[in-house]
């Protein structure tokens, strides 16, 4: 079965703190993709990153970084020096079988960054 | 480059009615998927269309249907609306790599 688990329902931090959002996935496929999306109050899901199952290199983009570990089936997302504008719901998602537009989402983590 | 456009943004319908939602993809994107987002069930995949053919289907009843036109625009139809169909319906389009989402249509069934 394919599944994505985001155990953290809500996280609250103070501005400038670092925060890590956890994501654990399950799949029997050897070829799959992992994604992170941000959903601000407006509702649109904003694409942040895509990772394929053969690329375990960590990635950094500005204040954002992602840690992909196949050994633990995890794809965690860290925001360094958080800002109020980072407040949103963050979703981790999985696609498999070569499909990139059929996503299985986790339940999301609501991040609240207090000024 | 224009993003994914969904219309209308908000809808209020009565139980038993039917509704049609529209999604215009990013230029060049041939894959269009639909998702339902509710507080209880989260984000769930409805179906995907590619080149006017349904390519993947989620676990939803037959009241939920869709189609795609030759210009890749897609419509989603829900017949015999139920209160539980109240949700944010999101459309995502893809050119083969990541999927980009529209702002969604907020459907309220009363």
DSSP string, A50-70: EEETT----EEETTEEEEEEG
CB B105 within 8 A of CB B8: yes
Q: How far A45 CA sits from the closest chain B CA (Å)?
A: 6
Of the residues B101, B106, B107, the best mutation for testing chain A's interface (the one with the most A CB atoms within 10 Å of its CB) is B101
Handedness of CA A9, A102, B21, B85 (dihedral sign): negative
What pLDDT does residue A42 have?
87
pLDDT in tens, B30-85: 999 999 999 999 999 999 999 999 999 999 999 999 999 999 999 999 999 999 99
The three-state secondary structure class of B25 is coil
Looking up tokens 């394929």 gives: A52
CA distance B103 to chain A (A): 4
Tens of pLDDT, residue by residue, chain A (115 residues): 899 999 999 999 999 999 999 999 999 998 999 999 999 988 899 999 999 998 888 888 899 999 999 999 999 999 999 999 999 999 999 998 777 789 999 999 999 999 9
A44, B35: Cβ pair inside 8 Å?
A: no
Q: Which residues of A touch B56 (CB under 8 A)?
A: 99, 102
Q: Given CB atoms, is B98 within the 8 Å cutoff of chain A?
A: yes
Closest partner residue to B45 among A37, A45, A103, by Cβ? Answer: A103
Average the pLDDT over B95-110 and give the result: 93
User: What pLDDT score was predicted for residue B96?
Assistant: 81
Residue B1: what pLDDT?
A: 61
Q: Which of residues 53-82 of B touch A (CB under 8 A)?
A: 55-56
What 3-state DSSP class applies to B84?
helix
Nearest to A90 by CA among A106, A74, A101: A106
Is B20 at the interface with chain A, CB within 8 A? Answer: no
d(CA A103, CA A94): 6
Q: A41 contacts in B (CB within 8 Å)?
A: none
The helix/strand/coil state of B85 is helix
**What distance in Å separates residue A95's CA from the closest CA in chain B?**
10
What was the pLDDT predicted at A3?
95
């Amino acid at each position: 079965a394919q599944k994505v688990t985001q155990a953290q329902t809500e996280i609250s931090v103070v501005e400038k703190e670092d925060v890590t959002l956890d994501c654990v996935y399950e799949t029997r496929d050897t070829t799959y993709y992992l994604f992170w999306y941000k959903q601000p109050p407006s509702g649109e899901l904003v694409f942040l990153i895509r990772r394929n199952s053969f690329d375990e290199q960590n990635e950094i983009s500005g204040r954002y970084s992602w840690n992909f570990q196949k050994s633990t089936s995890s794809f965690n997302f860290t925001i360094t020096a958080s800002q109020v504008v980072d407040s949103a719901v963050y979703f981790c998602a999985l696609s498999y079988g070569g499909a990139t537009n059929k996503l299985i989402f986790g339940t999301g983590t609501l991040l609240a960054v207090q000024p | 480059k224009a993003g994914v456009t969904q219309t209308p943004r908000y809808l209020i319908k009565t139980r038993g009615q039917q509704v049609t939602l529209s999604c215009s993809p990013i230029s060049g994107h041939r894959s269009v998927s639909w998702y339902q987002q509710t507080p209880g069930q989260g984000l769930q995949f409805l179906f995907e269309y590619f080149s006017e053919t349904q390519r993947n289907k989620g676990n939803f009843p037959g009241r939920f249907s869709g189609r795609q036109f030759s210009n890749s625009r897609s419509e989603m139809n829900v017949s015999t609306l139920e209160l539980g169909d109240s949700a944010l319906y999101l459309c995502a389009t893809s050119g083969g790599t990541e999927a980009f989402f529209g702002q969604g249509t907020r459907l309220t069934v009363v």
